[in-house]
Amino acid sequence: MKYGVVAFPSKKLQDIANGYRKRYDPHYALITPHMTVKGVFEADDKEIEQVAVAIREVANKHKPFELNVSKVSTFAPITNTIFFKVTPNEDILALHKDLNEDFFGVTPEFSFVPHITIAQKLTSGEHDDIIGQIKMVGVDHTEIIDRIHLLYQLEDGSWTVYETFRLDEEN
């Protein structure tokens, strides 16, 4: 089964992202807007129990973090994906590192760019038409994230929460 670890932003930011995703993201109905902290990996029923224990240990070592989104960006020309860029900070980077180095699953293929996808799988023409408009509208949002979520993929391709982990306020 496929799994991943994400942080869900507040409903306010999800609503802003979904305003774009409804039109520009074919995965709109499959997953809520999120910031991935550990990409997709596979595990069986026994392994996922060990993974959940390990994620709980990581979550207990990390405090809630600030999620600051202040610009729209793109991965073009590599992919025609448009996203809200999350300003990297020590807390986000440390959490990502702990969930990806010497942890279950594969080492990430790409360097970590914290973001919330708002458009993907666009043709080059579609991408070029909308990127300027979305950048002009912009985004400016800050909030505190106090939990991360282990998700799993259902047979229909949608993702749902397997377990939620609170980040430790005491750290």
Q: Which residues are catalytic?
A: 34, 115
Distance CA 105, CA 46 (A): 14
Would residue 92 be called left, alpha or beta, if left means φ above 0 and alpha means ψ between -120 and 50 degrees?
alpha
3-state secondary structure of 6: strand
Helix pair angle (124-137, 11-24), 10° resolution: 150
CB 31 within 8 Å of CB 160: no
Name the residue type at position 105. Answer: G
Name the residue type at position 122. Answer: L
CB 68 within 8 Å of CB 86: yes
CB 11 within 8 Å of CB 21: no
Total residue count of the chain as it appears in this document: 171
CB 113 within 8 Å of CB 21: no
